[in-house]
């Protein structure tokens, strides 16, 4: 199959969150299964062209925008250690800037930037002679590829048999644009925008809704989330649209790229280990404590370390964990090492905690890929009390590294972590249900109780490490969905 992936983030070139991990991992997996994959990504100003060996091609593609034409330069690189081409579309006007989406509220012209990118991606595939069987778009940024394919390109023999598959990674961001601008920049007839139309939601152009309505198949990143977005507020207002497409909506659980997230071969960690050499995890723990400038002597290393690597937003449940974590620190029952950035009030909380418990807390503000691996390898527990979580990858990384996840049982967290039971010795982590402070406190207390309680501590970590969450399963599930989608245009 020829698969064209169009995305606003692809690891390792441009990453804000898990979206990038998935768009980096899936193409590699499909290509290993013998499929032809091409990836399209904007050439953001922050991408290190030299480092990744990205070079300019001779292609300059004409991109219809409204009633005029703009241009995209095509640059080319490869996903690391693969032969999967990544085409970087360059437009100095839209992408030569610092940042991917722009801080806080995003760049003012994000509507125009991504509508341009979608159209440019479809034009570029044609210019390159890469005829996709499937265009796979991700999240609101590239959702407009779906209506573009269905209404502007299907009549073109080149795209007559191309199916459109749209994957929702997060319903919280929908791309609500000014309709006059969006319909024009997207090349959609203004008359197609009216109340209840496939582009409209509460008076705005809604990129996510258009993606959902025009795609041949819609997927989201876990089975539980695929239900939550239909039946609960997690649909963020688009429950109706999702109900209409219910027959074509599939939950495809994310997986992890074990060529990158693997405790036996991780280039960022102190020592490799696997389930048979779990004791070596202690070496990684001490290295992490040293790096965090926390006490790391034998006695100090006895205290459990709670790790977190996260965008610090409400989604990640920071408000409900503050009190429980503070109490535990006050009782000196654990250490906390957290890497992330985001909302000011959450950053301030971790700074305060660090100031108050200098020997127990380290908050590293910012984005740091190598450190994120060392936290996964060195921590004992991984806390993820999300308010909502479409899938979540970090709890899966934690499990792969024998770090016990403490999660709220919603979305993808419910699909990937099972609660450890002492009576059956089954389970891969600690789960709690309610979104409140006492539930987190109870779960953390339970998790700290497991620590040092042998044989359970070794058992839960072994179970976690033995769970197979590798990307191959997800990749094959997508291929099945692609085949169903293609039946419509055979
Ligand atoms: P989300 O996409 O909602 O942020 P996921 O768990 O799916 O959550 O994916 C988050 C990804 O981003 C993981 O690869 C995680 O390691 C990474 N990440 C998040 N914050 C940071 C950070 N501050 N430094 C390095 N990596 C980070
Ligand atoms: C989104 C979600 C996260 C998911 C990731 C990759 O960012 O918040 O839960 O794991 O996409 O699909």
pLDDT digits (tens, 9 = 90+) for 199-246: 999 999 999 999 999 999 999 999 999 999 999 999 999 999 999 999
pLDDT at 326: 98
pTM given for the model: 0.97
Phi, psi torsion values for 325, nearest 5 degrees: -65, -40
Percentage of the residues of the chain whose pLDDT score is greater than 90: 97
List the domains of the chain with CATH numbers.
2-256+472-489 (3.40.50.2000), 275-468 (3.40.50.2000)
Mean pLDDT of the chain: 97
φ, ψ of residue 451 to 5 degrees: the values are -60, 130
For 82-114, write each residue's pLDDT tens digit.
999 999 999 999 999 998 999 777 899 999 999
At 225 the pLDDT is: 98
Distance CA 381, CA 392 (A): 16
Q: Which residue, judged by its Cα, is nearest atom 19 of ligand 1?
A: 310
pLDDT score, position 228: 98
Tell me what percent of the chain is helix, strand and coil, each rounded to the nearest 5: 40, 20, 35
pLDDT of residue 421: 98
Strand order in the sheet with 430-432: 361-365, 335-342, 305-312, 381-384, 404-408, 430-432
∠ CA(432), CA(433), CA(435), 5° rounding? 110
Q: What is the pLDDT of residue 301?
A: 76
pLDDT tens digits for range 7-20: 999 999 999 999 99
Instruction: Return the number of other C-beta atoms located less than 10 Å from residue 459's C-beta.
Output: 17
DSSP 204-237: EEEHHHHHHHH-SEEEES-HHHHHHHHHSGGGTT
CA of 260 to the centre of ligand 1 (A): 14
User: Closest Cα partner for 348 from 376, 387, 318, 303?
Assistant: 318
Is residue 138 over pLDDT 90?
Answer: yes
**Alpha carbons 56 and 49: distance in angstroms, whole number:** 10
Residue 18, ligand 2, Cβ within 6 A: yes
| DSSP one-letter code for 12 | T
When pLDDT is cut at 50, 70 and 90, the band that residue 297 belongs to is confident
Task: Output the six-digit token pair for 230.
Answer: 């239909």
Tens digit of each residue's pLDDT (9 = 90 or more) over 298-320: 777 789 999 999 999 999 999 99
> Is the beta carbon of 24 within 6 A of some atom in ligand 2?
no
What's phi and psi for 129, nearest 5 deg? 75, 20
The CA distance from 451 to 110, in Å, is: 47
Please spell the DSSP secondary structure of 43-91, one letter per residue: --TTS-TTTTT-EEEEEEEEEEETTEEEEEEEEEEE-TTS--EEEEEE-
User: What is the pLDDT, as a whole number, of residue 299?
Assistant: 77
Question: Would you call 450 exposed, middle or buried from its count of C-beta atoms within 10 A (0-12, 13-18, 19+)?
Answer: buried
pLDDT band at 402 (very low <50, low <70, confident <90, very high): very high
Q: Measure the CA–CA gap between 76 and 83, rounded to whole angstroms.
A: 12
pLDDT-derived band at 73, boundaries 50, 70, 90 = very high
Closest CA to 139 of 116, 163, 168, 113: 168
Mean pLDDT of 390-408: 98
Q: What is the pLDDT of residue 247?
A: 98
Ligand number, closest to the Cα atom of 260 = 1
Report the pLDDT averaged over residues 66-78: 96
Ligand 2 pocket check for 391: Cβ under 6 Å: yes
Centre of ligand 1 to C-alpha 258, Å, is 16
Confidence (pLDDT) at 262: 98
Say if residue 120's pLDDT is above 80.
yes
Of all ligands present, the nearest one to the C-alpha of 7 is 2
Distance CA 230, CA 430 (A): 27
- Residues in contact with ligand 1 by the CB-under-6-Å rule are 17-19, 21, 309-311, 339-340, 367-369, 372, 391-394
Q: Is the CB of 19 under 6 A from ligand 2?
A: yes
Q: Give the pLDDT of residue 103.
A: 75
* DSSP reduced 3-state for 101: coil
Residue 137 and residue 312: Cα distance in Å, rounded? 26
3-state secondary structure of 254: coil
Q: What is the pLDDT of residue 105?
A: 73
User: What pLDDT, in 10s, does the model give residues 143-182?
Assistant: 999 999 999 999 999 999 999 999 999 999 999 999 999 9
Q: Is 159 exposed, middle or buried (0-12, 13-18, 19+ CB in 10 A)?
A: buried
CA distance 241 to 350: 39
Which position has the token pair 């258009």?
Answer: 210
**196: helix, coil or strand?**
coil
Average pLDDT over residues 384-405: 98
Round to whole Å and give the CA distance between 446 and 421. Answer: 11
The set of residues, in sequence order, having a beta carbon less than 8 Å from that of 284 and lying 6+ positions away, is 269, 270, 271, 273, 374, 377, 378
């Amino acid at each position: 199959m020829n698969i064209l992936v169009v995305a606003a983030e692809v690891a390792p070139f441009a990453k804000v969150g898990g979206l990038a991990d998935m768009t980096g991992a899936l193409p590699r997996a499909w290509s290993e299964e013998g499929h032809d994959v091409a990836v399209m990504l904007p050439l953001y100003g922050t991408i290190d062209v030299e480092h990744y060996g990205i070079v300019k091609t001779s292609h300059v593609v004409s991109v219809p925008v409204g009633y005029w034409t703009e241009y995209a330069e095509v640059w080319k690189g490869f996903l690391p250690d693969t032969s999967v081409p990544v085409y970087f579309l360059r437009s100095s006007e839209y992408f030569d800037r610092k940042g991917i989406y722009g801080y806080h509220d995003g760049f003012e012209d994000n509507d125009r930037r991504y509508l341009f990118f979608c159209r440019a991606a479809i034009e570029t595939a044609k210019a390159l002679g890469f005829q996709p069987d499937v265009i796979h778009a991700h999240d609101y940024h590239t959702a407009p590829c779906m209506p573009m394919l269905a209404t502007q390109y299907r009549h073109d023999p080149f795209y007559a048999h191309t199916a459109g598959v749209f994957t929702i990674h997060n319903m919280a961001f929908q791309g609500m644009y000014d309709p006059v601008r969006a319909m024009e920049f997207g090349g959609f007839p203004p008359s197609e925008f009216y109340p209840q139309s496939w582009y409209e939601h509460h008076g705005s152009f809604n990129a996510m809704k258009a993606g959902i309505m025009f795609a041949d198949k819609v997927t989201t990143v876990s089975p539980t989330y695929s239900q939550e977005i239909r039946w609960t507020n997690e649909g963020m207002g688009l429950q109706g649209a999702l109900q209409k497409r219910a027959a074509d909506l599939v939950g495809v659980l994310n997986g992890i790229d074990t060529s990158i997230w693997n405790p036996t071969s991780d280039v960022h960690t102190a020592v490799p280990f696997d389930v048979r050499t779990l004791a070596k995890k202690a070496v990684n723990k001490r290295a992490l404590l040293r790096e965090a400038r926390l006490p790391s002597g034998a006695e100090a290393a006895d205290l459990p370390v709670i790790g977190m690597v996260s965008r610090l937003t409400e989604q990640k449940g920071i408000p409900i964990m503050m009190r429980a974590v503070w109490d535990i620190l006050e009782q000196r029952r654990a250490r906390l090492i957290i890497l992330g950035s985001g909302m000011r009030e959450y950053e301030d909380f971790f700074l305060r905690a660090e100031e108050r418990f200098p020997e127990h807390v380290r908050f590293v503000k910012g984005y740091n890929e190598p450190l994120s691996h060392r936290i996964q390898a060195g921590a004992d527990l991984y806390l993820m009390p999300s308010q909502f979580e479409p899938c979540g990858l970090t709890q899966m990384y934690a499990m792969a590294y024998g770090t016990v996840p403490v999660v709220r049982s919603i979305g993808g967290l419910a699909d990937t972590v099972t609660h450890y039971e002492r009576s059956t010795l089954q389970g891969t982590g600690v789960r709690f249900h309610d979104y409140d402070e006492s539930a987190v406190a109870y779960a953390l207390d339970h998790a700290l109780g497991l620590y040092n309680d042998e044989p359970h501590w070794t058992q839960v970590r072994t179970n976690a490490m033995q769970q197979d969450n590798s990307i191959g399963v997800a990749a094959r599930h997508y291929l099945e969905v692609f085949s169903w989608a293609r039946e419509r245009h055979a």
